[in-house]
Amino acid sequence: MHHDLDRKFVPLSDYQTYSTEEMRDRSGLFYELMRKRRTVRHFSDKPVPMDVIAACLRTAGTAPNGANIQPWHFVVVTDPEIKHLIREGAEKEEREFYSRRAPEEWLEALEPFGTNWEKPYLDRAPMLIAIFAQRFGIEPDGTKKKHYYVQESVGIATGMLITAVHYAGLVSLTHTPSPMDFLNGILSRPDNEKPFLLLVVGYPAEDALVPEISKKSLDEITTFL
């Protein structure tokens, strides 16, 4: 195989080979861990160790992405005043959504989850992580630099972040008030960054409740050819 001579390549030295039995054990254990992950809306206000979150964000930063541009930026918010500003901005948009913008079909789909425009967890949870997608880059001279597969890349990184947070022993909530442009102003992010998702992170409240739901079976979500 011939590689681009202008790019440096190094051996794949960190790859670990496992026996088939070990692979079965590892994949099965990981599934058992991840199937216990639940989206939580009732949070404790107990602070989250910042070094744990830093490790989770480093994990997210290893995600595969278009042309290795890594078109994401994470803003970690623990300041109560900034969290409250985010809550006010989110509730303003959510109030519009639930009262005017949401189709009846969508509201019916949300009804079993007991959600509404009020988002008290944005104040109570110890941490909000705002995830931004860099739609394009900006060169030092101010010209635009094209970014590739931005949504896909940031989506994969976000999934890895959610997985890392759960693996560490915390819970999370994916929150997507629409539109989310108010986050740029509150968090002083540039125009080339578009809010992708607001991840609420913390410990569950002692009396936390979650809806009784099930996941589709493997046969329903997969085709083997």
CATH number at residue 92: 3.40.109.10
In a domain, 57, yes or no: yes
pLDDT given for residue 2 in this prediction: 46
pLDDT given for residue 106 in this prediction: 64
In a domain, 154, yes or no: yes
CB atoms closer than 10 angstroms to residue 23? 11
Range of the domain at 125: 38-205
In a domain, 191, yes or no: yes
Count structural domains, the chain.
Answer: 1
In a domain, 15, yes or no: no
In a domain, 25, yes or no: no
In a domain, 5, yes or no: no
β-strand partners of 69: none
83, 43 Cβ separation under 8 angstroms: no
Average pLDDT per 10 consecutive residues for the chain, totaling 225 residues: 66 96 98 97 97 98 97 98 96 77 70 75 97 94 94 98 98 91 97 97 97 95 97
pLDDT given for residue 112 in this prediction: 67
In a domain, 2, yes or no: no
131: region left, alpha or beta (phi > 0 left; psi from -120 to 50 alpha): beta
pLDDT given for residue 5 in this prediction: 54
Please give the single-letter amino acid code of residue 224.
Answer: F
3-state SS of the chain is CCCCCCCCCCCCCCCCCCCHHHHHHHHHHHHHHHCCCCECCCECCCCCCHHHHHHHHHHHCCCCCHHHCCCEEEEEECCHHHHHHHHHHHHHHHHHHHHHHCCHHHHHHHHHHCCCCCCCHHHHCCEEEEEEEECEEECCCCCEEECCCHHHHHHHHHHHHHHHHHHHCCEEEEECCCCCCHHHHHHCCCCCEEEEEEEEEECECCCCCCCCCCCCCHHHHCCCC
In a domain, 12, yes or no: no
Q: What is the reported pTM? A: 0.91
